[in-house]
Structure 1
């Protein structure tokens, strides 16, 4: 197990990143990362965007290849960099607490296959808690009440933690291959995990028991990302599939109705799906893929609304809670984050408040 994480430095308000905006497309570009961006997350109020990156770099003194990670926080009003954290570990995943006061990151040193989870008071640039893992931490999610965290590393398990101290780990075990993605349901009572075994499993957070297993069809494999709809009625999974006619890998997004376990729609991509997010309007699903395309779907009708081409494979997408901004990032030379005005892309998107689900008096759930 990797025990020594070195924080190289924390700098605030380093320099305003170059921001370029196109009036005809509504696209802006945030520049400042020096390596490819793996993860994006908006703070709940939409005023801050977090981005994590990492790669190898050559140490000029030892001439050895070392790993390097950057976690940046951007002011969305000014489109400037607010703070940055540098690390010897790559940042693969990031999420904000419900109040936006702290953030949780997952990552690690790929060359050593060693992982780390960290909780940050990002405004004061302080690490609040950290735990190491035997494998790279590649996906995480925070419960709506901010009290629980679920993470996955390479391996067939997911782990629940208490926040903010990263205490009382509870293992979710049942997959037969690597778990690649996790998500909390909007009511916080369930967790979804997607695995290379071709299944999505739903778990009861209180009992840590699997309550449902959703199976991809026979051609699907490598479930890479999962997401709940804002009303909690639908779950979407992105995966890689094999085209039976030419044996080439392609991608697809599959949606299920959770209550019945019925598969409702399959949405095609040309390659492996890397990121999924539902819009707060409860109508639009957005997917990113290694084919370098972000697609916007009416997932209820099963129709494509818009296609957004990029210069390289997509690694992460995020949407603000007011449904006005879409952020995308991936593997391209300039390591940029692209911002899109959703109203210009698909018309005005109405953000719908999440449904408040209140437990009854005899409920055992917290």
Structure 2
């Protein structure tokens, strides 16, 4: 067999036709005195395509060496060194292959067997043969790195009641806050000063949502009304959108790549319905009915599907064209509080990429095509996934296009799970719970990854940085905290609020975090 040498790695152009069985079936009985493994590098985009041939590598081959190898001319042939993460049997390689493989096997054993294996671990390695190479799955990471926010650069008073919702514009230049004082305020992030006060609601504003072109802001609240405002001047785009009979609990714009004019908006309510509005004509196009209790969250998918979850314990999928319910997902034993889509971050960014170039009216179609390409790239060959969280203390991972049965039920929280969010790269899910903890899960299979502990009160909300490496959380304990997902540790505390922190958001450009709560002050945090 002919081989070629790459540094200290041997490669062969022949790849095994057999499936790898080492990871899922290996037991302590196959541990022998070996110093090398035969491995295959496999794409993690759902295609499972192999890159290059079968490699013979040292057992202590490290993450940095794997990155250099994958970027080399014999494999991906990248012009520059791009970052990747690598997994063996769903366990991330953070040090070397051998230690990761040992951990993956220990995870599959009973506690007693794992203890015995650990006692034998020193000096031992695992056999892999050319007939059963070890499959190492790789995923691209963000090219940029978001630096953690560490200091408060602005404390912005103005609201006379608690701030219930904080949301950055998709281009990262403005932030909107909705409050119990029945107003929405827009703040200029360049000057960190008030920009506009949007008045018109008569009760608490529960949710605010930016259009994906960054030109409009929608708000809904306890007055049963949806209002849409121009971000540039703070004026209403038309009449108030009336029709709901109870509180408006959630809002979702039609994706930018589906309609660059951003005319349509979905709203959900405690009146058990979802309404689709034409904001240009200020009228309701149609109503989606079927839930038997209050709807708690609504999402508008990139393929035209609308997702909703409710206190009737179900999740429903709706076809916008046929205006009908296409699937009902059952699984939770109590109210479904919130849900998240694997494509949520890229849809939120809408017309903007990481450079956040201002949107020009004569380039709408060009930007729409670019947005569609970014969406397709993020989605890859995988169907859209959902994660729902509930008062039953659990989360459920779904793949609705494939099956109405859950992929996994994620258990471990000891209290109500209030908020859940996919990471921007779609590979992790973070959940915030009233048990004072945040848990992070593998979005591919629902496996538990880590618990983030540090808050001394219920955690209300979480938000990811754009590179999926950091997470910010807001809690009843009056603090926000920044977490490092590479090691699961608290990176820095963000103290300063005098009362509960209800809402946090990380700007899409990664530069700022916004937090607001019961003390009626919006705080902006920077690096």
Partner residue, 1:38: 164
| Residue 304 (structure 1) shift | 2.9
Distance 2:284 2:301 in 1: 21
Aligned CA distance change for structure 1 residues 52 and 163 (closer, same or farther; 3 Å): same
Pairing 1:192–2:337 present: no
Aligned CA distance change for structure 1 residues 83 and 168 (closer, same or farther; 3 Å): closer
Asked whether the equivalents of residues 73 and 83 of structure 1 are also in contact (C-alpha less than 8 Å), the reply is yes
CA deviation vs aligned residue, 1:118-163 (integer Å, no higher than 9, x gap): 1011231112232233211111111113332111121221111123
Partner residue, 2:230: 121
Pairing 1:225–2:338 present: yes
Pairing 1:138–2:138 present: no
265, 278, 301: which is aligned to 2:422? 278
Q: Output the aligned Cα RMSD.
A: 3.2
- Mapping of residues 157-196 of structure 1, within 5 Å: 157-187=273-303, 189-196=304-311
260, 270, 280: which is aligned to 2:403? 260
Asked whether the equivalents of residues 425 and 467 of structure 2 are also in contact (C-alpha less than 8 Å), the reply is no
309, 314, 319: which is aligned to 1:204? 319
Task: Name whichever of 200-209 and 87-96 sits farther off.
Answer: 87-96
Partner residue, 2:389: 238
- Mapping of residues 1-366 of structure 1, within 5 Å: 26-28=149-151, 31-32=155-156, 35-54=161-180, 68-75=181-188, 82-85=195-198, 88-108=202-222, 114-129=223-238, 130-132=240-242, 133-145=244-256, 146-187=262-303, 189-217=304-332, 220-230=333-343, 231=379, 232-241=383-392, 251-258=393-400, 259-268=402-411, 269-301=413-445, 302-307=447-452, 309-310=454-455, 312-319=457-464, 323=468, 326=471, 328-329=473-474, 331=476, 338=480, 340=482
Aligned CA distance change for structure 1 residues 322 and 123 (closer, same or farther; 3 Å): farther
Asked whether the equivalents of residues 275 and 288 of structure 2 are also in contact (C-alpha less than 8 Å), the reply is yes
Aligned CA distance change for structure 1 residues 340 and 148 (closer, same or farther; 3 Å): farther
Q: Which secondary structure does the structure 2 equivalent of 1:221 belong to? A: coil
Distance 1:31 1:74 in 2: 12
Structure 2, unmatched stretches of 5+, are 1-146, 257-261, 344-378, 490-507, 509-527
Aligned CA distance change for structure 1 residues 80 and 324 (closer, same or farther; 3 Å): farther
Structure 1, unmatched stretches of 5+, are 1-23, 55-67, 109-113, 242-250, 352-366
| Residue 82 (structure 1) shift | 4.5
Distance 1:308 1:122 in 2: 38
Q: Which secondary structure does the structure 2 equivalent of 1:139 belong to? A: strand
Distance 2:188 2:482 in 1: 15
Structure having the higher helix fraction is: 2
Distance 1:80 1:295 in 2: 35
Count of aligned residue pairs for this structure pair = 292
Asked whether the equivalents of residues 419 and 462 of structure 2 are also in contact (C-alpha less than 8 Å), the reply is yes
Structure having the higher strand fraction is: 1
Q: Which secondary structure does the structure 1 equivalent of 2:227 belong to? A: strand
CA deviation vs aligned residue, 1:250-286 (integer Å, no higher than 9, x gap): x221111122223122234232222222122110212
What's the TM-score once normalised by structure 1's chain length?
A: 0.69
What's the TM-score once normalised by structure 2's chain length?
A: 0.49
Asked whether the equivalents of residues 309 and 315 of structure 2 are also in contact (C-alpha less than 8 Å), the reply is yes
| Residue 78 (structure 1) shift | 6.5
CA deviation vs aligned residue, 1:46-75 (integer Å, no higher than 9, x gap): 343333221xxxxxxxxxxxxx23433445
Partner residue, 2:53: none
CA deviation vs aligned residue, 1:176-234 (integer Å, no higher than 9, x gap): 222111111133x10111011111010001111111111015xx210111221113521
Asked whether the equivalents of residues 452 and 488 of structure 2 are also in contact (C-alpha less than 8 Å), the reply is no
Distance 1:100 1:346 in 2: 33
